[in-house]
């Protein structure tokens, strides 16, 4: 007979636990003790709950690699004790944190479900209660003694998405996230309907937590009229090791000679250039158009259908391993945690 399911709820901060300061009228985070009083329904679950609250609580705009390491450590330290984890997190950078954790938690065989809300949980119309309750159900779900969702995912507005496939695209609607290149892992209605064929399968290996992240990277978003000074100053950043190139459409970029020359010069100096599309759907296909063929010839790496959020965190993770440049470039072009379709 299966023992009582145990869930660790990790509260990092974010809108879900915020109330309005009567003096400044701005939203600020509260302690979990106050948040918990808005969710007495937790007592109806036949699960064992425990809570971990970060001090200080963090607005998600202040998220950074150091915090991701601390979050990964909390999961590592409690991994054998709990069956699943629910992480309450601000929505603004949730896709970055979920992506980062997916790479940091190698051989993950338990659910790590991120959720939050667009309205504070103390408000009458909040979406936080439903998101939170759904996340608990998913984190606790088992079939034949095996977790149904043994991966890092985001649960928001009746959808479950692979964490490293998501992007926040709406700051007003409750449906804040989109997964433009990968179907949802589950749809939530009267029942929770899982797309089991899409969910990563457990490998039952020992969890390995990667805690070295290298943030010596930059994002260069292309736009019509981008000038030489902007591009050259980006590549001149001290200590820079890699640049995420946000290109047009299927990986296209200007064909003017100065632009390609600057990129080639950076690559020749040992920098990694990773090509991702600005589009929310679709993929990079270097060479499909003349405007991308030149990038491939000089050594720019194509990112297929990876999101910018996932590209940034994957690059930090791979650079942090200390692997040679050639091996990092090879791993950028294969799917490590289901983050892209090759």
Q: How far apart are CA 261 and CA 265, in angstroms?
A: 6
Q: Is 97 a catalytic residue?
A: no
Task: Catalytic residue, from 5, 15, 167, 307: name it.
Answer: 15
Domains 6-209 and 217-332 in one fold: yes
**6-53 pLDDT tens trace:** 999 999 988 787 766 667 777 666 655 666 677 777 777 889 988 898
Put simply, whether the predicted model's pTM sits higher than 0.75 gets the answer: yes
CATH code at 217-332: 3.40.50.40
Tell me what pLDDT residue 19 has.
66
Looking at the DSSP bridge assignments, the partners of residue 86 are 9, 113
**φ/ψ (deg, to 5) at 60:** -65, -20
**Higher model confidence: residue 225 or residue 292?**
225
How confident is the model over 233-282, as pLDDT tens digits?
999 999 999 999 999 998 889 889 999 999 999 999 999 999 999 988 88
Alpha-carbon distance values, 15 to 121, 185, 254 (Å):
8, 24, 40
CATH architecture of the domain with residue range 6-209: 3-Layer(aba) Sandwich (3.40)
Tally the C-alpha atoms within 13 A of residue 275's C-alpha that lie toward its C-beta.
Answer: 27
The helix/strand/coil state of 252 is strand
Residue-range domain boundaries for the chain: 6-209, 217-332
């Amino acid at each position: 007979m299966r023992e009582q399911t145990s869930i660790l709820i990790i509260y990092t901060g974010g809108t879900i636990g915020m109330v309005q300061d009567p003096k400044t009228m701005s939203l600020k985070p509260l302690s979990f003790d106050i948040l918990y009083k808005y969710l007495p329904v937790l007592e109806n679950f036949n699960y064992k709950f425990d809570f971990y609250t970060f001090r200080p609580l963090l607005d998600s705009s202040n998220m950074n690699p150091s915090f991701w390491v601390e979050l990964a450590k909390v999961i590592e330290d409690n991994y054998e004790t709990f069956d699943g984890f629910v992480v309450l997190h601000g929505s603004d950078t949730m896709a970055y944190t979920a992506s980062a954790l997916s790479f940091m938690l190698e051989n993950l065989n338990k659910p790590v479900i991120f959720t939050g809300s667009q309205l504070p949980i103390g408000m009458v119309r909040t979406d936080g209660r439903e998101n939170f309750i759904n996340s608990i159900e998913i984190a606790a779900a088992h079939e034949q003694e095996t977790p149904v969702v043994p991966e890092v995912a985001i649960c928001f507005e009746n959808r479950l998405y692979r964490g490293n496939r998501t992007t926040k695209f709406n700051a007003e609607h409750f449906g804040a996230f989109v997964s433009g290149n990968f179907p949802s892992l589950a749809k939530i209605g009267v029942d929770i309907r899982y797309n089991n064929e899409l969910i990563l399968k457990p490998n039952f290996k020992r969890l390995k937590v990667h805690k070295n992240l290298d943030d010596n990277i930059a994002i260069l978003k292309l736009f019509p009229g981008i000038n030489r000074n902007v591009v050259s100053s980006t590549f001149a950043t001290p200590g820079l090791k890699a640049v995420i190139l946000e290109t047009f459409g299927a990986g296209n970029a200007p064909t003017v000679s100065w632009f390609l020359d600057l990129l080639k010069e950076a690559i020749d100096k040992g920098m990694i250039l990773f090509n991702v599309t600005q589009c929310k759907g679709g993929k990079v296909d270097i060479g499909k158009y003349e405007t991308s063929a030149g990038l491939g010839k000089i050594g720019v790496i194509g990112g297929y259908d990876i999101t910018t959020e996932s590209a940034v965190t994957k690059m930090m993770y791979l650079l942090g391993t200390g692997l040679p440049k050639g091996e990092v470039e090879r791993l950028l072009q294969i799917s490590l945690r289901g983050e892209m379709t090759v």
